[in-house]
Chain A
Amino acid sequence: MELTGAEILVRSLKEEGVTHLFGYPGGAVLHIYDALYQQDDVKHILVRHEQAATHAADGYARSTGKPGVALVTSGPGATNAVTGIATAFMDSIPMVVITGQVPTNMIGNDAFQEVDSIGITRPCVKHNFLVKDVAELAETIKKAFYIATTGRPGPVVIDIPKDVTAEKAEFKYPDTVSIRSYNPVVTGHIGQIKRAVAMMLAAERPIFYTGGGVILGRGAAELTELAQMLGYPVTNTLMGLGAYPATDKQFVGMLGMHGTYEANMSMHHCDVLIAIGARFDDRVTGNIEKFCPSAKIIHVDIDPSSISKNVKVDVPIVGSVPNVLQEMIKLLKAGDKKPDAKALASWWNQIEEWRAVDCLKYDHDSGQVKPQQVIESLYKATHGDAFVTSDVGQHQMWAAQYYKFDKPYRWINSGGLGTMGFGLPAAMGVQFAHPDATVACVTGEGSIQMCIQELSTCLQYGLPIKIIALNNRYLGMVRQWQEFFYKRRYAMSYMEALPDFVKLAESYGHVGMRIDNPADVDGAMEEAMKLKDRLVFMDFVTDQEENVYPMIPAGAGLNEMILV
């Protein structure tokens, strides 16, 4: 049957199992919106800014493992989407973004709302396509989803000129796709896996250092099994939280710049480092010269270019996380060699000494609302089972430190790009994917204002998100660095002229609460969680100059932390 390009697009999305499409209309995509209007399979969610469309699609993807899909118009629609595309790219999130384009005969003529979307997005996508022939549209969409979701996932942009959406072609959605130049490796090299297992068994001071790749690759169950078979400590990166249960005794917390003392000290002193789906980011390694000085390093990753990029490793293994870990588990079960129990006991004694420092302790008697207290209260009120999104800054670190994630896909934040404004639209995507779940957006008074317009989207679709704003009237992380490294010259880090967030929330038709007494925190949190069908904006007026501790200053090693 002959269909228009617009109809082919919508039908193809349905074939891909897309249920939610986050977008914003405009001239170049009018045919597509007309096709969307005439069907019920793909639900379109109207955001208030294209950045939010991409973040919402991203949040949907992070909380489900399925690709998120966004639709924006040409020109400013596409440029507004770029921040969200780059955010997904840095964190390897599977996403397909459809951008409208001016008609093919006008491309290059500086037409109204024309921008070189392919050129602009090229450095921040896994791949992108300009579709010039309607006959190629369905196959291109198939390829886009295939590329976005396989290997190391990432965003793919499909740029579709307006005339292509009007022209007709025979529609047949391909069952399979094969791209001769793209064949991601899944199975790890068995020889390397054997070497890795031998090295792991010979370790005296081992540690698992695992990242977002474990979650993206769906390897959390295998990681937990492997780590518990061996009894070795586990630390997660910011992106990897939830891949190993945070309440388990083998978990030593997050590592890196604001990681726990026990995690970072264990990293520094380990003799075998088992890195899985992590990329040795600068926020994790600190000074690379001082990183894990006595460690042999095993690195499992789906992306060969992540291996030995920042830190030279001893046993590289390219493959998917569950595949490689299953092989390791098989080898361990088949062999009779066990970890060195004596060495391991003494290693755990050392780790427990570090843990006893209690690096996340804070003042409970200040008379002020402490941000850490708010996160602990959120954890209690949601029984540790909420989906938590965050923006970027101090509140993000506190959420990562104090909310103990036991499951993957629950912690949703912009780790790589560090995008303020991510939290609320991401929470919308999560809530659409999990309509009955509790979704909390931990944010600050700075970050929330970067996508505050989405309160309107939340009203339109009745999204009962709980916004936990840690309002310290400062751009807290900027202020913290200025306090430490710029002699307290607080240049532009003070948030003057803040709105009344309670009234603001109410004007959008939501519930607003202001909490400025530490004694009220738990009660307010309980009350907010009881409002199951309402969005509640909780404005916590917190201690203004609280800092995130521990902290590794720039240029220092993991063993050179500032504690309090």
Chain B
Amino acid sequence: MRHVISILMENEAGALSRVAGLFSARGYNIESLTVAPTEDGSMSRMTIVTSGSEEIIEQITKQLNKLIDVIKLVDLSEDEHIEREMALVKVKAVGEAREEYKRLADIFSGRILDVTDTTYTIELTDSGDRIVEFIAAINADEIIETVRSGVSGIARGEKSLYP
């Protein structure tokens, strides 16, 4: 099953490689991984999307907790939470397609960030599923490239990872 694990960790050199190394050394899956410093520059917030049996997810959270740089973590999928991901999609936009992709971007609440005579670059921020749907709605031949940020997640309500 798919799980979204949110980690608060020390913003130290090498902390990311400890997490990435743990996943590769123990053969766990990483579907996506995002990381950036928090408003408190001494800490980073990481969101990892992974999958595995309940036993494997339990081991993943325990092993992550064991890393000295990890301050706290939570498996967001255990409770109500919000997930968002950003995608940048560059498409060929000539002739009728120009109007069509404009409409499609509107339907998906996307924004066209860059326009040339022959291309659009569309930004979409939504759930991973919606992004997949959006990309599927575009003619594959007309996609020049896509860049996805990976999932960022946060719990609903008052809950927070801060100690």
Contacts and interface: CB of A to CB of B under 8 A. Distances in A.
Interface of A: 118-119, 122-123, 126-127, 130, 147, 179-182, 303-305, 308-309, 312
A182 to B, nearest CB: 5
A126 B68 CA distance: 8
Contacts of A130: 13-14
Given A118-B14, A122-B17, A305-B59, A180 B163 contact: yes
B38 interface: no
Contacts of A303: 66
A405 B70 CA distance: 39
A122 B9 contact: no
Contacts of B163: 180
25 contacts: A122-B14, A122-B17, A122-B21, A123-B21, A123-B25, A126-B68, A127-B68, A130-B13, A180-B71, A180-B163, A181-B9, A181-B10, A181-B69, A181-B71, A181-B72, A303-B66, A304-B62, A304-B65, A304-B66, A305-B59, A305-B63, A305-B66, A308-B55, A309-B59, A312-B55
A371 B147 CA distance: 65
Given A181-B69, A181-B70, A308 B58 contact: yes
Contacts of A126: 68
A180 B42 CA distance: 12
B18 A122 contact: yes
A312 B54 CA distance: 12
Given A122-B17, A123-B25, A181 B68 contact: yes
A179 B68 contact: yes
Contacts of A304: 62, 65-66
Contacts of A123: 21, 25
A182 B65 contact: no
Interface in B22-38: 25
A537 to B, nearest CB: 39
A118 B70 CA distance: 18
A291 to B, nearest CB: 15
A119 B17 contact: yes
Contacts of B55: 308, 312
Contacts of B66: 303-305
Contacts of A118: 14
A141 to B, nearest CB: 15
B62 A305 contact: yes
A435 B163 CA distance: 48
A236 B32 CA distance: 43
Contacts of B9: 181
Contacts of A119: 17
A131 to B, nearest CB: 12
A130 B72 CA distance: 23
Interface in B56-102: 58-59, 62-63, 65-66, 68-72
B154 to A, nearest CB: 20
Contacts of B65: 304-305
Nearest to B42: A180
A318 to B, nearest CB: 10
A127 B14 CA distance: 11
A119 B14 CA distance: 9
Given A130-B13, A130-B14, A181-B10, 16 more contacts: A122-B14, A122-B17, A123-B25, A127-B68, A180-B71, A181-B9, A181-B68, A181-B70, A303-B66, A304-B62, A304-B66, A305-B59, A305-B62, A308-B55, A309-B59, A312-B55
Nearest to A305: B62
A126 B13 CA distance: 16
Interface centre among B10, B13, B66, B69 (most CB of A within 10 A): B66
B68 A147 contact: yes
Contacts of A309: 59
Contact of A182 (B14, B59, B62, B68): B68
A354 to B, nearest CB: 32
A305 B28 CA distance: 15
Contacts of B59: 305, 309
Contacts of B69: 181
Most chain B Cβ neighbours within 10 Å, of A130, A147, A182, A308? A182
A511 to B, nearest CB: 45
Nearest to B18: A122
A303 B18 CA distance: 18
A329 to B, nearest CB: 28
B13 to A, nearest CB: 7
A434 B163 CA distance: 45
B42 to A, nearest CB: 9
A122 B18 CA distance: 7
Contacts of A312: 55
Nearest to B26: A123
Contacts of A122: 14, 17-18, 21
B74 to A, nearest CB: 15
A303 B66 CA distance: 8
A-B residue pairs, 7 tightest by C-beta:
A305-B62, A181-B71, A127-B68, A304-B62, A123-B25, A182-B68, A305-B63
A52 to B, nearest CB: 27
Most chain A CB neighbours (cut-off 10 Å) among B18, B68, B72: B68
A119 B18 CA distance: 9
Q: Which of A126, A180, A305 has the most chain B CB atoms inside 10 A of its CB?
A: A305
Interface in B1-21: 9-10, 13-14, 17-18, 21
A147 B59 CA distance: 21
A152 to B, nearest CB: 8
Interface in B138-163: 163
B140 to A, nearest CB: 39
A164 to B, nearest CB: 15
A122 to B, nearest CB: 6
Contacts of B25: 123
